[in-house]
Structure 1
Amino acid sequence: MSLSDDGGYGGDGHRGPETGQTRTRLPDNDGDGYGSGRRSRTGMSSRNLVTIVGVIVLLLAAIAFANRGGSGNSETATDSPKAPGRAQPTAPTGTKAVSGKTGGIASGFAKTEQGAQSAAANFAVALGSSDMFQRDQRHKIVNTVMAPSAAAALQNKLDDVYAPDFFKAVGLKADGSTPPGMTFVSRTIPVGTKVKDFAKDQATVEVWCTGLLGLAGEGSVKPVTTSWFTLTMKLAWTDNDWKTLTRSQKDGPAPVSGDVPASGAKDIAGAVQGYGGFTYAR
């Protein structure tokens, strides 16, 4: 994204003028023995001048382009409520993400567009984690990321969803525990965020995600698979922080699968256990 100087530009334009005796050709002195040589030097100087001018023009254009690109990442432009979701989907702001954590989940987000996007990304990670499959942990997560007015209703819905039939469908035991010798994987990884709407105390943010779900282990009948989906979260500024009012999910956008061969169950289990997650910031 940054521009670098091109060492190939310049040519003879960076060389100094020739030194030595100065010769002057008078207009009526056609017999001057230096006439032809002087015309040759004048032609060479013209080419040098054109080259120098060309280099200066290129450098000025490069500087102008770099300055224009740098201004696109300014905090003021991204924060502007007049243009939510501007075309800066992956550009970091450099703003500190959060001031702390609550129950292991990032909290203390700024009351800005960036703060709302950071909150939505971190809430997506928490709501898609393997802790959601354990009742006590699930309740803690929901009470942390949801607004008080929405937490109780969501708790009831999730308690109905995380039931024995669902646990069996993902390869777990009926009580939600992991079979011996297996590693249960449920992880959401935000790829990018976009503000759909931003007002004084509310924001609607889309979080494009990829996810991992399944059992890693020898003989697993539910191997870990990937998915792509977009979460839409409506947030409210509550008790000096962003909290979730509603959330919805739709499939995609999904890229074409690459040609990287699938890793073995041992490698997947080791990766999930060995690589921790992040606190996400916009």
Structure 2
Amino acid sequence: MSPGDEHDSFGGVGGSGQTRTRLPEGNSGDVYGGAPRRPVRSSRSLITVVGVVVVLVAAIAFANRGGGDPADAAGPRAGTPGGTAPTAATGIRPVSGKNGAIPTGYAHDDQGAQSAATNYAVALGSAEMFTASERSEIVHAVYAPSAIAARQGDLDKVYTDKDFLSRIGLQEDGTAPQGLTFISRVIPVGAKVESYDEDKATVAVWYSSLFGLAGEGSRNPVSEAWYTGSYELQWVGGDWKVTGFSQQDGPVPVGRDQRASTSQEMSDAVGQFGGFTYAR
């Protein structure tokens, strides 16, 4: 793995040749803010559509709430690689514990494998991967023992490469320059089982990635990209662990006509909005 491959190896780090960064027009002096590229259309039909979506989301949430303990709302189901899977969570308790800040202790079934891959994608795409001590904790929590040594060395080599860090605007220790906020987040949209047997599984996770530096004078403003990561998992030590990973671009949705947020709004958001534990 070379530093130039960071985009394809770490949940969308650094952007893509196929990803368009939409910057607002105007001379506001803020790399994020300013006038919208095109006026945001407001119409009665748009309000009606949004209202219908909100009602549907509420109805789905109510229908899946069930009775009693939500963790017991549904039982395990067999893996169906390539089949259509529901978007809503089934109600299976996703994890039984944590290894540091990373959820661990997944169910020994296809749903547990999907939950593991999704939460591991979030950890591997986080800003903490750029700090040596936290990167080591993530690797040991996510990877199978047989894969830790090789992956730790490869990741350390990339994340400490001065040219790589310089290109994305970080200092040599992986931190943001003073006055800037580094954002690296993976936001899963869904997961599916590509293959499954008792002790091995391959799970695809579709997600968007936010990456860049928020703040005045940033040369790498926070942008969004879309990927599908394929995670090879092994059941070892009573949990699902990663043994291999590959990634491809997309599916990429059409962008909406929305104003790019200001640098202050982006900095505030990363500090105010916490993450989730994801579950199939």
TM-score (norm 2): 0.72
Answering whether residue 143 of structure 2 is matched by residue 146 of structure 1, we say: yes
Match of 1:225 in 2: 223
| Larger CA Rg, structure 1 vs 2 | 1
Match of 1:124 in 2: 121
Unmatched 5+ stretches in structure 2: 1-62, 65-72
Amino acid at match of 2:268: G
SS at match of 2:193: strand
Q: 2:88 aligned to 84, 87, 91, which one?
A: 91
Q: How does 1:202-213 map to 2 (within 5 A)?
A: 202-213=200-211
Q: Is the 8 A contact 1:164 1:176 kept in 2?
A: no
Q: Is the 8 A contact 1:89 1:194 kept in 2?
A: no
- Name segments (4+ residues, structure 1) moved above 3 Å: none
The alignment of Structure 1 onto Structure 2 pairs a total of residues equal to: 209
Amino acid at match of 2:194: K
Match of 2:178 in 1: 180
Q: 1:111 aligned to 108, 111, 121, which one?
A: 108
Q: Distance in 2 between matches of 1:97 and 1:175?
A: 35
Q: Distance in 1 between matches of 2:223 and 2:192?
A: 26
SS at match of 2:219: coil
Match of 2:158 in 1: 161
Amino acid at match of 1:132: M
Match of 2:188 in 1: 190
Q: How does 1:240-279 map to 2 (within 5 A)?
A: 240-279=238-277
Q: Distance in 2 between matches of 1:191 and 1:136?
A: 29
Deviations 1:50-71 (A, max 9, x none): xxxxxxxxxxxxxxxxxxx99x
Q: Is the 8 A contact 1:165 1:174 kept in 2?
A: no
Answering whether residue 104 of structure 2 is matched by residue 101 of structure 1, we say: no
Structure richer in helix, relative to its length = 1
Match of 1:56 in 2: none
Q: Which has the higher contact order (CA 8 A, sep 6+)?
A: 2
Amino acid at match of 1:195: V
Q: Distance in 2 between matches of 1:234 and 1:89?
A: 22
Unmatched 5+ stretches in structure 1: 1-68
Q: Is the 8 A contact 2:78 2:109 kept in 1?
A: no
Q: Distance in 1 between matches of 2:82 and 2:189?
A: 15
Structure 1 residue 89: Cα displacement = 4.2
Amino acid at match of 1:242: W
Structure 1 residue 170: Cα displacement = 1.2
Structure 1 residue 276: Cα displacement = 0.2
